[in-house]
Chain A
């Protein structure tokens, strides 16, 4: 019985860690961006402050049941995926005590689909608000998703067929035993997945979904207060999830939280840097971008994986 209690505690701790890391990374990004633009910038905990403020709004706008559900779906999807993703390598002290959530009960295909869950719920909520900007943003987001899923899936399928498994643990184990990270053993697949990650994080040049000046921040344009706050936290957890997934798949996983933080942060900076030096793509340009070189790299990686 208290085994279950421990499990629940571990789950809660995992969630808190993921949340904190995601939010802090967001703050750090804002700070760095400001520094790059020769500004002082906010503190790196600015996101926490914003979240606190949003949650402490007095009035909240209720747009109907779907609008009410949208943030829940996001947070639900975030937590569920987090439960099924291996944060650290099995067997390590950190892992056994905190993070053995459910990561043996899901596999990559499931994660791929579960990640969509949140954005679909978000889309539905945004649809019910009746704001045309939200619907336009949603269509852009979904179209872009079709764009970057292709190289991503190519990369994942390459890994799966090469190592005859669809579970993340096995891929991590392969890397641990061989001692070679996937990003070196399958460079092409890694590059494809990396390009896909640019689209996943929606920094510029792929931020047309929520273009503030044009779409009034797109899907979320009707959400404020607690709804917006919940979405923010869900998004932060998702950022952590994506980074951890990439680390597990390509960077050999992590044995301890600091290692995880280093790897994830290094990975996280790639879309951020790429965003600093890039303007914004139109949707069809973004899709064409993903169907261009990233897909080609993915195909090459897949061919290498087969033969």
Chain B
């Protein structure tokens, strides 16, 4: 039996078994999910690289699945994060209702993602894409809260994207009667397909829906917020990256090989890339602005995921080796730190009951490990050295500057500076500030939930000094995409102008200075040090009561909001609401054709008959 098919089979059958096993015991589905993902992972990592292709001819179509170096990178993300998340889910989901449905869809979407990255023909790509979409939809609505706003919007936007893709697939099919991606690329390289540009634009449209690009992002915040945290990690971590994968497929492996003799096409290609990059930049900026006014931690993270995906899109769209490397690096990193963050928020939600930052504060002494992983991943989200986030940010900036997209750099820099605000917001709002009496009972999450987060946090720390560990697979993947001799070093970053940053020195310096300061500050005057609680603060002599909490949580960044008020004035959701209302009115009007009156229907028949007769006699 073919290994790749076996992996998919394990996942899908595991999904069904998990779904049925809920009848047996509420604990079983999570276990089955974990086991099947583990089995798939073991199977993937133990078998040699060349066995991962799989051909199937069915219903007059040829399906080709193949894992090359580029998709291997994404498979690492998918399997790794899903494995950790499913381990986490064992603890997170215990004694919740309808676990069978949850794990069924979880495994299904994981299988769908694997299928997507492995698909080498557009039909199976689309099939797996749709499977992933509807299973993730079922998880998004799993809690059942706010079905219309969240579920229907997600499904409608995904359907718009998917059908745009289908349209494009059909266009390509009508040009050259094949669905096989390699054949398509070969065909593009030699002749000019009449519908190539439209098709690629439509494909990009479809992918930007998943990647939550600017005008199409409105589904994302709600969906990320509503899904259970154990899945949101996967959802925002890897599932959204499928859009990035598709963009890379279109921009870097289809359009890039377009016939260079065809200047118009090359020009259009660059043009599309620019448009996409600018959309990404605007997405990053706007989403960041909206992230920092949120009061719910999960929603804040959802907006920040949208922003991060904006960065990643920029890198792919610019298309220079450095930028592609940067964005793939950021993609993996985003999977790591945003996965960690969502898992951490899930832990907080499970232990403290809510992630609303206006309700809880000062959990640092209660949940130290959760705070630690949150801190690490927030630092790498903010891109502050010496953690891994800095590497990706640096490469992105250098790529943009050396490429001459200077104003885009400024926009990106603005958004990532504003990202500090919400980074601080989430750390402060949940873990710092005064301790509530009603969160005094909160305990640290169980080990099965802590362990995955800690693993990812350690990875982030390691990658901050040794990004080469990740550059290696990325570079191999890029060679598949057609970038020749991608150069990378283990601990040194460099751009095309030859400017370098030596991460080894950086982390050594920081470490030495930090340890020295730590020793100095800790040892000096240790006997005289008084440990005080968060209630013992200088409030101009006033003594806060036991129950009153002085933590500053509401309108956290109000001054910034006031300063940037013009940017907050327009709301995308409102536009879509108006659109849907207008459509609703139109539908209502159209529906009135069916009056429910027999005579009218008879009249329709007669009129139609006469009209058709006249038409036919006159034209044919």
A contact set with B: CB distance below 8 Å: 55, 57-66, 68, 71-73, 75-76, 79-80, 83-84, 102, 105-107, 109-110, 113-114, 116-117, 120, 123-124, 127-132, 135-136, 138-140, 142-143, 145-147, 149-150, 153-154, 157-158, 160-161, 164-167, 170, 216, 221-222, 225-227, 230, 282-284, 287-288, 291, 302, 305-306
Among the 9-residue stretches B170-178, B323-331, B414-422, the one with 4 or more Cβ atoms under 8 Å from chain A is B414-422
Q: Does B296 contact A (CB under 8 A)?
A: no
Query: Which of B397, B409, B510, B560 sits near A283, CB closer than 8 Å?
Result: B560
Provided the pairs A72-B514, A72-B518, A143-B563 are in contact, do residues A131 and B537 lie with their beta carbons within 8 angstroms? yes
Which chain A positions have C-beta within 8 A of B433?
A: 127-128, 130, 135
A131 CB to nearest chain B CB (Å)? 4
- The tally of CB-CB contacts under 8 A between chains A and B is 230
In the complex, the answer to whether A60 meets B528 with C-beta atoms within 8 Å is yes
- Is there a chain A Cβ closer than 8 Å to B497's Cβ? yes
Residues A216 and B538 in contact, CB atoms below 8 Å apart = yes
Q: Tell me whether A142 and B534 are in contact in the complex, defined as CB-CB below 8 angstroms, given that A105-B505, A157-B409, A164-B497 are known contacts.
A: no
Contact in complex: B509, A149 (CB < 8 Å): no
Which residue of chain B lies nearest to A117 when distances are taken between CB atoms in the complex? B384
Residues of chain A within 8 A (CB-CB) of B501 are: 105-107, 109-110
Binds A, one of B36-44, B146-154, B398-406, B459-467: B398-406
Question: Nearest Cβ in chain A — how far from B493, in angstroms?
Answer: 9
Which of B117-125, B244-252, B548-556 lies at the interface?
B548-556
A120→B433 CA distance, assembly (Å): 15
Q: How far is the CA of A107 from the CA of B498 in the complex (A)?
A: 11
Cβ-defined contact, A226 with B525, below 8 A: yes
- Docked-complex contact A146 and B406, CB < 8 angstroms: no
B599 within 8 A of A: no
B310 to chain A, nearest CB (A): 17
Is there contact, CB below 8 Å, between B362 and A131? no
Q: Which residues does B use to contact A, with CB under 8 Å?
A: 362, 364-365, 375, 379, 382-385, 390, 393-394, 397-398, 401, 404, 406-407, 409-410, 413-414, 417-418, 420-421, 423-424, 427-428, 432-435, 495, 497, 499-502, 505-506, 509-510, 513-514, 517-518, 520-522, 524-525, 528-535, 537-540, 550-552, 556-557, 559-560, 562-564
A73 to B529, CA, bound (A): 20
| B424 contact set on A, CB distance < 8 A | 120, 123-124, 127, 138-139, 142
Report chain B residues within 8 Å CB of A147. 563
Cα(A157)–Cα(B398), bound, Å: 10
Closest Cβ of chain B to A197, distance in Å, is: 16
Contact B525 A76 (CB under 8 A): no
6 further A-B contacts with Cβ under 8 Å, apart from A110-B506, A123-B424, A142-B557, are A59-B529, A120-B382, A161-B406, A166-B495, A302-B406, A306-B406
The distance in angstroms between the C-alpha atoms of A73 and B409, with both chains bound, is 28
Contact B421 A146 (CB under 8 A): yes
- In the complex the two chains form, what is the Cα distance from A146 to B537 in whole Å? 29
Q: Closest residue of chain B to A163, judged by CB?
A: B497
Are B522 and A142 in contact (CB-based, < 8 A)? no
Give the residues in chain A near B557, CB-CB below 8 Å.
Answer: 139, 142-143
> Once the chains bind, are B538 and A120 in contact (CB under 8 Å)?
no
Query: In whole angstroms, how far apart are the Cα atoms of A65 and B529 in the complex?
Result: 13
Contact B538 A131 (CB under 8 A): yes
Nearest 5 interchain pairs by C-beta:
A130-B534, A127-B432, A283-B559, A287-B563, A284-B563
A109 in contact with B382 (CB, 8 Å): no
Chain A: minimal CB distance from B587 (Å): 45
- A residues less than 8 Å from B435 (CB atoms): 130
| B residues in contact with A72, CB < 8 Å | 514, 517-518, 521
- 9 A-B pairs (CB sep. < 8 Å): A58-B525, A107-B501, A124-B375, A132-B551, A146-B417, A221-B538, A230-B517, A287-B559, A305-B406
Q: Give, as a whole number of angstroms, the nearest-CB distance from B465 to chain A.
A: 13
**A226-B521 contact in complex given A117-B385, A142-B421, C-beta closer than 8 Å:** yes
B509 touches A79 (CB 8 A): yes
A222's partner among B407, B417, B418, B538 (CB-CB below 8 A) is: B538
CB-CB nearest in chain A for B514: A76
Q: Are B517 and A76 in contact (CB under 8 A)?
A: yes
A62 engages B559 (CB within 8 Å): no
A64 to B525, Cβ gap below 8 A? no
Q: Taking A80-B510, A306-B406 as contacts, is the C-beta distance between A139 and B559 under 8 angstroms? A: yes
A267 smallest CB distance to B (angstroms) = 23
Q: Report how far A63 CA is from B495 CA in the complex, Å.
A: 43
| Shortest Cβ distance from residue A170 to the other chain B in the assembled complex, whole angstroms | 8
Given A62-B531, A113-B384, A222-B537, CB of A284 within 8 Å of CB of B559: yes
Q: With A62-B531, A165-B497 as given contacts, are A124 and B509 in contact (CB-CB < 8 Å)?
A: no
Residues of chain A within 8 A (CB-CB) of B407 are 302
A105 touches B500 (CB 8 A): yes
Taking a contact as CB atoms closer than 8 A, the residue among A105, A127, A282 that contacts B428 in the complex is A127
What separation, in Å, do the CA atoms of A130 and B510 have in the docked complex? Answer: 28
Give the CA-CA distance A131 to B362 in the complex, in Å. Answer: 12
Are A129 and B537 neighbours in the complex by a CB distance under 8 Å?
Answer: yes
Pairwise interchain contact A124-B410, C-beta atoms closer than 8 A: no
In the complex, the answer to whether B538 meets A166 with C-beta atoms within 8 Å is no
From the candidates A79, A221, A225, name the one contacting B513 in the complex (CB within 8 A): A79
How far apart sit A71 and B499, CA to CA, in the bound complex (Å)?
32
Residue of A nearest to B433 (CB): A130
Q: Is B563's CB under 8 angstroms from A288's CB?
A: yes
How far is it, in angstroms, between the C-alpha of A14 and the C-alpha of B282 when the chains are bound?
A: 42
Alpha-carbon gap, A124 to B433, bound state (A): 10
Minimal beta-carbon separation of B305 from chain A (angstroms): 20
CB of B404 within 8 A of CB of A161, answer: yes
